[in-house]
Amino acid sequence: MRKNLGANPYVYPQPVLIVATYGEDGTPDAMNVAYGGIVNSNRIQINIGARHKTSDNIKAKQAFTVGIADEKNLEAADYVGIVSGHDEPDKIRKSGFHLIKSEFVDAPVIEDLPICLECRVEEINQYNATLRIVAEIVNVSADESILDGNGNINPARLKAISYDPANKTYLKVGGKAGNAFSDGNRLK
């Protein structure tokens, strides 16, 4: 038997995305973005409130980076989601994140997060108080500690976290469940 839960954002697992930007004056900012994901092979979409400092920065610079939050950086990832860059100019220092400038876009890379997507804005649409931003992924960098012997991302080493919107918690992403584009062949 199923129970209706209404119109809610219950997609699991939901990645914890840390969007980093520079302001017009070069000041770095980052925020935890709950709603976003891959649109196609080289595009990402994020949805954020129009009133955020990050929104202002994305409009000004037309670029941002997306770090994938992990267990090790859970507190800092949560902090940048609950503190506004409009209210706390020293937000990045207080988070403990270490930043370097992207080689590909005018935005910072958070060195502490093991994966970073470097993005160039293609489209910004505003719906009421929310911005829907679509961007081209121009580069992905990964810390070598999460790569396997073939240079591929090893999810067990990544230790990404997921946001649980129903219970307002962060979850650990589990291990391998099967083989994509393969296991379904058994049903042919």
3 state SS of 41: coil
Neighbours of 121 (CB within 10 A): 16
Residue pair 59/52 in contact by the 8 Å Cβ criterion? no
The answer to pTM > 0.85 is yes
Q: What pLDDT shows up at residue 115?
A: 97
pLDDT at 174 over 90: no
Q: What pLDDT shows up at residue 26?
A: 95
Residue tagged 């935005």 (tokens)? 107
